[in-house]
Structure 1
Amino acid sequence: MSLKVYTTSVTASREIKSLQAEVTRVLESKCKEFENVDISQDNCLREEMRTKAGNPTAMPPQIFNGDMYCGDGPTFMNAVEEDNLDEFLKLK
């Protein structure tokens, strides 16, 4: 399975920008390979992200392991703080 992080390159929200940057930084620092999916490139990608997350109003970043939903940015950061990132990412 492969990790996917749904993000957007077009947002005025500092919170979204910050969370996306932090998720990317943590994954790179932990040597976790992942695909960045920019939902601003196509509305179909936004709908795909929301459908897979089971939330019609989900905002990036949203993290998936294959088709398994892991969680959103704040949940990811909680997993990092609690030192259970691999469990969050469904790698265990």
Structure 2
Amino acid sequence: MPGKITVYISNLASNVETRKQQMRIQDVLSGCKIDYDVVDVSASRDNLARMREIVGDPKALAPQIANDDEYCGNYDDFEEAVENKSLNEFLKSENTA
């Protein structure tokens, strides 16, 4: 059974590029009718710590994507998967476009 996709974002991101990346990920997932949760790492230290634990990098910044507790990748990895039409494999999921 496939897990739940989680997109880790920061609503306090002042960097315009980061905001664009976060929106792009959400737009693509929504457009493909992929069910996902959004977790704002700026809302709680626990959220940030959880994301960094999953990513395996104590300095990781949003956006990051995971399937349950399995790390999928960052924005660049996501874009590459979209470009290569390998979103299924990237998300480690069976029910994606």
- The TM-score bracket by the shorter chain reads over 0.9
Matched, 1:73 2:88: no
Could you state the TM-score of these two structures normalised by the residue count of structure 2?
Answer: 0.91
Tell me which protein shows more helix as a share of its residues. Answer: 1
RMSD: 0.8
How many residues are aligned here?
92
**How many Å separate the matches in 2 of 1:52 and 1:46?**
10
Aligned equivalents of 1:17 and 1:51: distance in 2? 22
Instruction: Give the Cα–Cα distance (whole angstroms) in 1 for the partners of residues 13 and 39 of structure 2.
Output: 15
Any runs of at least 4 consecutive aligned residues in structure 1 with deviations exceeding 6 A, and if so which?
Answer: none
Letter of the aligned partner of 2:54 in structure 1? K
State the TM-score, normalized to the length of structure 1: 0.96
Structure 2 portions without partners, runs of 5+: none
1:63 maps to 65
Q: Report % sequence identity.
A: 34
SS in 2 for 1:40: coil
- Whether 2:37 is the aligned partner of 1:48: answer no
